[in-house]
Amino acid sequence: MSPARIRGIAYHLPERVLDNVELASLSAGWTPEKILDKTGVATRRIVADGETAGDLAEAAARRLFAAEGIDPADIDHLIFCSQTPDYRLPATACVLQHRLGLPTHAGAFDMSIGCSGFVYGLGVARGLVETGQARRVLLLNADAYSTLLREDDLSVRALFGDGAAATLIETANDNPGRIGAAVYGSDGSGATKLIVPGGGAREPAGSSHLHMDGAAVMAFALKEAPAAVARLLDQTGAALDDFDLVVPHQASRLVLDSLRRRLGVPHERFVVDVESMGNTVGASIPIALSRLPVSDRPRRILIVGFGVGLSWACADITL
């Protein structure tokens, strides 16, 4: 069994920029400086009318194909990870299989998971590759959370931005890159802390807007993310100092600063990349990975996702 690796990552953001000046004009008591201080976000990208998470994912995938010289016909499986799919059915992954020109023998399915979705998706893709079910897996993380937010709710509008990332997972062969051990967790007792209650079978006429209990979500993240890291270190026999970088879900600067201190990781090894695009949900980790400075050697990286579900996961990767 040959291990799996990440061959490449590309991302795409919508054109429209929503800055703090525009946001502050929507609500009394807010200033651009206050928004930046509370969230660490200066600008975020917002989908245009009629633009979807599937559109963003398609653009990210095409960028990946061009950058890596990949023929779409060589993709064996497509995973679309999103909480804002294009349709209730069919799966957006099937629609994207056709739009991207992937072969009809390629598998395609959606995963409805948010902020920890990249780590979950990597685990599934790794399993497909390492069990011989696929040679190359295209993982697409994309969300358009702006479509779920009330215009006057700056507590969430200031945080979230829309975006997509495309990741190609394949057999490592002699390449030093690896997707290593991972740990996962979930606690559905906290589901209502970050939820869109309406639109599903449970509350079809309920609110279609995102509700977030920010204090509860932050408390959850600062409890479960360090515990998951400790589990992974115990499982691998590694220490945090063995990792070149820690790349967490880009929730907000406040959460990230608190998590870095809780873990005891120095600034230079803890990636914070939230200011120019906000919290892009499941795409935030792969976008941050793709924006890292180029290195002349492989880097061992600890990735940590946490959020809606409540759900969390972390993994040991070499990239």
Residue type present at position 45: R
Residue type, 245: L
How far is 294 from 285, CA to CA, in rounded Å? Answer: 16
- Tell me, rounded to whole angstroms, the distance of Cα 72 from its chain centroid: 23
Q: Which helix (H) or strand (E) holds 223?
A: helix 214-236
Buried b (16+ CB within 10 A) or exposed e, 11-47: bbbbeeebebeebbeeeeebeeeebbebbbbbbbbbb
Listed in sequence order, the residues at least 6 apart from 311 whose beta carbon sits closer than 8 Å to its beta carbon are 113, 114, 115, 116, 120, 184, 185, 186, 187, 305
Question: Does residue 282 contact residue 84 with C-beta atoms inside 8 Å?
Answer: no
Q: Measured between alpha carbons, how far is 100 from 72 in angstroms, rounded to an integer?
A: 7
* Cα separations in angstroms, 36 against 49, 97, 115: 26, 39, 21
Q: Which residues are catalytic?
A: 115, 249, 279
